[in-house]
Chain A
């Protein structure tokens, strides 16, 4: 039975700021306070550190929401290149924005309180307080239509998984800051389970229309399923970091369920709530009920803006691991090796 002294055994330590505080020192102070979002963020850093120190763990990153256009592009690319992420599962849109920048386009700081019809008249799109010029999408459409033509001519009707499709794009992009390029160089799988729900889907229509829907690129979403299950199955342990949620989160969880093993480590950073029944806000306890996450998993949900929380997490954990820490990549997918 729990005794009163078990409950009241760790006093809150108050946060002290001085001019020399590093990111990890601040995060550890968050942990010492142990309270509210600060405590949760500190626990998330502890779990991420344990994932990276576990030689048998494959680390999945689920990316949803417009994080790449907002400034997380290089962080994700570097995390792939430096083996802090083994497998990326992302919305198609994030990779669209990655490709826009790889082709010379930009995202601009804007404001949320603007006349949106004026933006429309100036062919400028808004993502909350970011602006994207329409011409950058158009240049993407034109260039990627060419790439789709090349890929479909090479594959000649052979079906590509979204991972193979991402790999083919990364091969053709030269920008070292690109997520797709970094994944290609690091031989890290990138899955885009809802790839058609992005500009990639619209570009398919341009590519296919121009050749009367004959000999077109064929991306098969179902082909992803055995590939990602294979990665989970071949891994002793699986860890996931979720930024946002949605389809990328469930893709990882369902793969773990299919292997009957469940996820071992989980960090979910989201602003979504559980009460609506949507997956993004669903609690990790709910995930346990499906068998997607182990009951004894090392897990935490951080209700925070991922643009704030994830860079802090990475900075803190990189500081803890030190410069000499080298992690071997966990990329055992047979399908992936075959594609290379």
Chain B
């Protein structure tokens, strides 16, 4: 089983399974919200109650944090 890294343990849209790139790295597209007719473009470092950990890591959160500095 894959070890959960420190960054992964933080809940962000950018490490949620429903996210796709929208304006890398700051904003992501949320499929789940889109299907529910909600505003689907959200901040990478935001999260909602439907957060589910992404099965494979990506650089969205890391790069969004770097951009925010």
A148 to chain B, nearest CB (A): 13
Is the C-beta of B29 less than 8 angstroms from some C-beta in chain A?
yes
A205 to chain B, nearest CB (A): 9
**Are the CB atoms of B58 and A209 closer together than 8 Å?**
no
Which residues of chain B from 3 to 61 have any CB-CB distance to chain A below 8 Å in the complex? 20-24, 29, 31, 34-35, 37, 40, 56-60
Report the bound CA distance from A210 to B24 in whole Å: 25
**Hey, which chain A residues are within 8 Å of B37, CB to CB?**
210
**Hey, which chain A residues are within 8 Å of B21, CB to CB?**
123, 133-135, 138
Is the C-beta of A36 less than 8 angstroms from some C-beta in chain B?
no
**Hey, which chain A residues are within 8 Å of B24, CB to CB?**
122-123, 133, 135
**Hey, which chain A residues are within 8 Å of B57, CB to CB?**
121
Give the one of B20, B21, B37 with max A CB within 10 A: B21
**Hey, which chain A residues are within 8 Å of B56, CB to CB?**
120
Report the bound CA distance from A209 to B23 in whole Å: 24
Given A210-B34, A210-B35, A210-B37, the answer on whether A138 and B58 have CB atoms closer than 8 Å is: no
Given A133-B21, A133-B24, A134-B20, the answer on whether A121 and B58 have CB atoms closer than 8 Å is: yes
B34 — nearest CB in chain A belongs to which residue?
A: A206
B25 to chain A, nearest CB (A): 9
Given A206-B34, A209-B35, the answer on whether A138 and B59 have CB atoms closer than 8 Å is: no
Is the C-beta of A321 less than 8 angstroms from some C-beta in chain B?
no
B13 to chain A, nearest CB (A): 13
Report the bound CA distance from A141 to B41 in whole Å: 13
**Hey, which chain A residues are within 8 Å of B59, CB to CB?**
121-122
Which residues of chain A from 125 to 145 have any CB-CB distance to chain B below 8 Å in the complex? 133-135, 137-139, 141-142, 145
**Hey, which chain B residues are within 8 Å of A123, CB to CB?**
20-21, 24, 58, 60
**Hey, which chain B residues are within 8 Å of A121, CB to CB?**
57-59
**Hey, which chain A residues are within 8 Å of B35, CB to CB?**
206, 209-210
Report the bound CA distance from A103 to B54 in whole Å: 29
B15 to chain A, nearest CB (A): 11
Give the one of A137, A138, A206 with max B CB within 10 A: A138
A138 — nearest CB in chain B belongs to which residue?
A: B29
Report the bound CA distance from A141 to B34 in whole Å: 10
**Hey, which chain A residues are within 8 Å of B34, CB to CB?**
141-142, 145, 206, 210
Report the bound CA distance from A123 to B59 in whole Å: 9
A144 to chain B, nearest CB (A): 12
**Hey, which chain B residues are within 8 Å of A206, CB to CB?**
31, 34-35
B61 to chain A, nearest CB (A): 11
**Are the CB atoms of A135 and B22 closer together than 8 Å?**
yes
Report the bound CA distance from A137 to B31 in whole Å: 13
A9 to chain B, nearest CB (A): 63
**Are the CB atoms of A142 and B40 closer together than 8 Å?**
yes
**Hey, which chain A residues are within 8 Å of B40, CB to CB?**
142
Report the bound CA distance from A74 to B54 in whole Å: 39
B1 to chain A, nearest CB (A): 19
Residue numbers of A with Cβ under 8 A of B are: 120-123, 133-135, 137-139, 141-142, 145, 206, 209-210
Residue numbers of B with Cβ under 8 A of A are: 20-24, 29, 31, 34-35, 37, 40, 56-60
Nearest 9 A-B pairs (CB), nearest first?
A123-B21, A134-B21, A135-B21, A138-B29, A121-B58, A121-B59, A209-B35, A138-B20, A135-B22
Ordered by A's residue number, 21 sampled pairs between the chains whose C-beta atoms are within 8 Å are A120-B56, A120-B58, A121-B57, A122-B58, A123-B21, A123-B60, A135-B21, A135-B22, A135-B24, A137-B20, A138-B20, A138-B21, A138-B22, A139-B22, A142-B29, A142-B40, A145-B34, A206-B31, A206-B35, A210-B35, A210-B37
Sample of 7 further A-B pairs with CB below 8 A, known A121-B58, A121-B59, A138-B29: A120-B58, A122-B24, A123-B20, A123-B60, A142-B29, A142-B34, A142-B40
